[in-house]
Structures are given as structure tokens and as C-alpha cells.
Amino acid sequence: MERAAKKRIDGDGDISLGIGKKFGVSIGSLLGSDAKPAEKIGEPRAESGGKTIRADERKMPRDFLKTAARAILRRESAGRGGRTVTTVELRPEPDNRTAEELAKMMRKSLGCGSHVEPRKIVLQGDMRERAALWLEKQGVREISSG
């Protein structure tokens, strides 16, 4: 038995459909007329009622941590299938977007998994000491661990 020859795809930017038929369509031309440009800071948004958003008006997570008065760190395993997690509660509570960004920053800095639950950030594993040091470096004034 002979092996069938491998079919190769041309890398010239054209899409070929069918056997030997080429249509001169590139991805850029498909997206060109209908694609929406990426939203930039300083441009009006439809959701904001036409107001422009400046970079200095956006509240960054690091700014929130500097204004945070207190962080409470707890080690929990109940209700989580025996897995240990560390919960971080911040006072005052961050909004959802800021909490997601803080969880992402902590995940990258501490080298663990994280997600957001109502009113708290959950870190995988016992990260109380490492999280306390990280929060202290970020400017949180009072950190209690339990």
C-alpha cells in the first residue's frame, strides 16, 4: 500500500477552500471593515455616556492597596474538600474589577492560584506569611493573620 501525499497549506495569507481553488481573501480584509478598533484611554466610550476616561482617573489596584486600612488573612480548609486555602479580606472592600486585578497580581507575585469570592480573595495553599509580606510591601497599613 502506498501512503497518500501530505496536503500542505500555503502560507501566503490567502485562504484556499476546496481542491485547488483559491479565493483571494486575507484575514485582514475579512476583519477590516467590520472590526472595531481597540478602545483606548482618552477616547469616549458608549457605556460612560460619551465621557472620556483619562489614565489618571482609573483607580489602579496598587492605589487601592495604599488606601486600604486593614487586611485579614485566614487559613481555611472546611468545605473545600480538605484543601487548604488562604482568604484575604480587605477593608474597605474593593469593587469586583479591582478585586480581580488584585487576585491576578497576587497570583503572579506569590506563585499560587487565586480567585475572587464575595468579599474575599482566595489563594491556594497556606500563604499567610508570604501574603502578609507582599501586602506590607504594597502599603497596607494593618495586617492581621489568623
* DSSP letter assigned to residue 85: E
The rounded distance, in Å, linking the Cα atoms of 45 and 39 is 8
List Cβ neighbours of 27 (8 Å cut-off, separation of 6 or more): 13, 15
In tens, the pLDDT along 18-33 reads: 555 555 555 555 565 5
In tens, the pLDDT along 31-79 reads: 655 445 555 545 555 555 555 545 444 557 777 877 777 999 999 998 8
pTM score: 0.58
pLDDT at 55: 47
Domain boundaries in the chain?
56-145
**Does domain 56-145 sit in CATH 3.30.780.10?**
yes
Is the separation of the CB atoms in 132 and 73 below 8 Å?
yes
**At residue 141, does pLDDT exceed 90?**
no
pLDDT at 126: 94
Instruction: Give residue for cell 480538605.
Output: 82
**Cell (9 digits) for 10:** 500555503
Is the separation of the CB atoms in 143 and 136 below 8 Å?
yes
* Burial of 23 from C-beta contacts in 10 A (0-12 / 13-18 / 19+): exposed
In tens, the pLDDT along 99-136 reads: 999 999 999 999 999 999 998 999 999 999 999 999 99
pLDDT at 3: 76
pLDDT at 57: 47
